[in-house]
Amino acid sequence: MRTVHLQPRSVAHGFGGAAFEGVRDITPMVMGIVPFGLAIGAAIGASSLTSAEGLFSGPVILAGAAQLATIQMLDGGTTPVVVILSAVSINARILLYSASLARWFADRPLWQRLLLALPVIDQMHFTCAPRFERGDLDRSGRAAYYVGAAAWLVLAWVASQIAALLVGAGAPQALRLDLAAPLAMVGLLAKSATGRTPVVAAVTAGLVATVGVGLPLHGSVLVATLAGMLAGQASARVTPRAVEVSS
Amino acid sequence: MTWAVLVVIGACTYGLRASMFVALGSRSVPEWLEGPLALVGPAAIAALLGSMLFTHDGAVSGAPLADAVAVVAAFIVVRRTQNVMAAMAVGLPVAWALAAVGF
């Protein structure tokens, strides 16, 4: 069982230093989402949505896959109820990130927690959770790190969509910017998935997401994530017994 | 109607985001949940990756060779250097080079 340090071992950073560290650490993720933001900006431009509606959808949904699906469905005349159900289903995984990140801010007043919940999304979880688990950021340092990372992520996300809408997503196909997001994610996976349990979780989740692509309501990523977590937990239970037997 | 749909989706998504921030309050996460929560990251990243690389238009489809090689090269380099930025610094040139020789 992993030990989670809710209290700091030492205070390693001032507020500004921690905020800057958050900006620095989320930068690979930001580079991964900018091409996606450009693609969504282009999709807004090509759709029947007004620029105001399209740009409003960026910060208000703050989740690329759901935003793109929403734009495409609204453009195609899909019934509003179906659009809403689909987008919320795609975003259901955010509940897991909320559970993971909330514990680091549990001692904050409710109004602050409500604000801190605003940018909960894949990239924030992938960047902040491992950093917080190192345990050397205090209460204020965690908030600074989180706010710094969130500000940079949201700014880049909105700016990339505005840029694509204003000047068109004119980057040549040969630059392969579409590969930036998977590369950023594979980099994060290579760094974070060490040890048997996370590797089992990752392999299972990857397989289930691929095989389960046809699941209704775009549920494959959520189902795959849960399957990966269960498989990882199961392997963690099996491993100590195996070690016991062998020793 | 578009505005209303966007506002409802935004509100529902914010509800998902805020749910645990409100529900947990000052309580700590139950011990039985700590193990699974630590696996959200690797599992979710891998699920998104599998979906990005091996599916297309709602069906399973193999990743192009150049993409697969770039992703594997990026994985190996980050594993060795522990530098996430290296994924793009290595992966993109690998994809460009393979495209240049016809893959």
ipTM: 0.84
Are both A137 and A151 inside the same structural domain? yes
**Which of A3, A175, A183, A225 to mutate: most B Cβ within 10 Å?**
A183
| Total domains in the fold of chain A | 2
Nearest residue of B to residue A52 by CA position? B3
Are both A164 and A64 inside the same structural domain? yes
- Give me the DSSP letters along B28-96: PPPHHHHHHHHTHHHHHHHHHHHHHHHEETTEE-PPPHHHHHHHHHHHHHHHHH--THHHHHHHHHHHH
pLDDT digits (tens, 9 = 90+) for A56-86: 999 999 988 789 878 878 887 878 887 888 7
Residues of B in contact with A103 (CB under 8 A): 24, 28-29, 37
The answer to whether A221 contacts chain B (CB < 8 Å) is: yes
Are both A83 and A145 inside the same structural domain? yes
Q: Is residue A10 part of a domain?
A: no
Residues 6+ apart with CB under 8 A from A111: none
Residue pLDDT tens, chain A, 247 long: 444 444 444 445 678 899 999 999 999 889 888 877 887 887 888 889 999 999 999 999 998 878 987 887 888 787 888 788 878 877 888 888 998 899 899 989 999 999 999 999 989 999 999 999 999 999 999 999 999 999 999 999 999 999 988 876 556 677 777 787 788 788 888 987 888 999 999 999 999 999 988 887 667 888 898 899 999 999 988 765 444 433 3
Are both A200 and A184 inside the same structural domain? no
The answer to whether B89 contacts chain A (CB < 8 Å) is: no
Domain encompassing residue A203: 194-247
Are both A21 and A70 inside the same structural domain? yes
